Amino acid sequence: MLELKNVQTYYGNIQALKGINMEVREGEIVTLIGANGAGKTTTLMTISGVVPPKSGEVLFEGTPIQKLSSEKIVKKGLIQAPEGRRIFPNMSVMENLEMGAFLRNDKIIIKQDFDYVFDLFPRLAERRAQLGGTLSGGEQQMLAISRALMARPRLLLLDEPSLGLAPIIITQIFEIIRKINKESNTTVFLVEQNANQALKLAHRGYVMENGAITLTDTAANLLANEAVKSAYLGI
Ligand code: ATP
């Protein structure tokens, strides 16, 4: 579904991605793990067209998208849920969700999708009139994911959904990501520093160091890998 071929991305003279190759197949949950500054967020921003690569290709269903605008990429169904704090703080939960559906005009199905996200996150249903900025960290993360779902993603791109959340909330959110993947057949690309949780959720994973992919395998094999254990799992 998604393929990155020898992708190189720069910020001015600084090379953040040093020729990375990866793929995400339809129906999978794939995670990208790595330390601070490894280039994980840059990978997401390169895929979503926010920071286009200097060279290499990003293919979505075989079509190059690395030169398309972010809006065109969103229209193809590649939707990024931002890190939780980036919801619209002065808009209500309901209005934030409506923004997620902004590019759609299928009103009846939008209504069903509201029911779907409120079913996934009953907490948001209770707080539908509350301003986004006054939600707890966990609730804001739920809203960020729900807003992305309102755009009907074919490929959902998640940037560190566990950031700053209590362990019990992380477990709940990861369970819901599993449910989204299974029940609505949404393919998921998950960037995470929480390698343990991410690898327990994903089918396959990539390990990134210093702008390069250093390891890739099934998530189960990565969880059992001695180098991954000592560098990322604290075991
Ligand atoms: P973290 O887990 O800490 O968020 P990350 O793996 O997501 O890290 P990136 O944010 O992709 O890492 O950063 C990769 C490298 O690119 C870092 O060295 C960072 O300092 C640099 N970088 C990121 N954004 C910019 C920018 N706007 N301008 C210049 N350099 C940047």
Q: How far apart are CA 52 and CA 60, in angstroms?
A: 14
Give per-residue pLDDT as tens, 126-157.
Answer: 999 999 999 998 899 999 999 999 998 999 99
The reported pLDDT for the residue numbered 105 is 81
14 lines ligand 1 (CB under 6 A): yes
Q: How far apart are CA 94 and CA 72, in angstroms?
A: 25
The reported pLDDT for the residue numbered 73 is 95
Give nearest CA residue, ligand 1 atom 20: 37
The reported pLDDT for the residue numbered 83 is 72
Of the residues 14, 18, 214, which should be mutated to test ligand 1's pocket, given the most ligand atoms within 8 Å of the CB?
A: 14
216 lines ligand 1 (CB under 6 A): no
Domains of the chain from N-terminus onward? 2-77+153-233 (3.40.50.300), 88-152 (no CATH)
Residues 6+ apart with CB under 8 A from 215: 206, 207, 222, 225, 227, 228
Give per-residue pLDDT as tens, 165-211.
Answer: 888 889 999 999 999 999 888 999 999 989 999 999 999 999 999 99
The reported pLDDT for the residue numbered 64 is 97
Going from the Cα of 96 to the center of ligand 1, the distance in angstroms, rounded, reads 27
DSSP characters over 69-99: -HHHHHHTTEEEEPPGGGS-TTSBHHHHHHH
The reported pLDDT for the residue numbered 218 is 98
Residue 18, classed as helix, strand or coil, is: strand
The reported pLDDT for the residue numbered 197 is 92
Give per-residue pLDDT as tens, 78-128.
Answer: 999 977 668 999 999 999 999 988 878 888 888 899 999 999 999 999 999
Going from the Cα of 89 to the center of ligand 1, the distance in angstroms, rounded, reads 25
Give per-residue pLDDT as tens, 49-88.
Answer: 999 999 999 999 999 999 999 999 999 999 999 776 689 9
> Exposed, middle or buried, 213 (CB in 10 Å: 0-12/13-18/19+)?
buried
Q: Which atom of ligand 1 is nearest to the CA of 208?
A: 6
Give nearest CA residue, ligand 1 atom 21: 16
Q: How far apart are CA 31 and CA 157, in angstroms?
A: 10
The reported pLDDT for the residue numbered 40 is 95
Of residues 34 and 234, the one with the higher pLDDT is: 34
Of residues 2 and 142, the one with the higher pLDDT is: 2
pLDDT exceeds 90 at position 163: no
The reported pLDDT for the residue numbered 12 is 95
Alpha carbon 19 to chain centroid distance? 21
Closest CA to 227 of 219, 218, 215: 215
What does the pLDDT average to over 30-52? 95
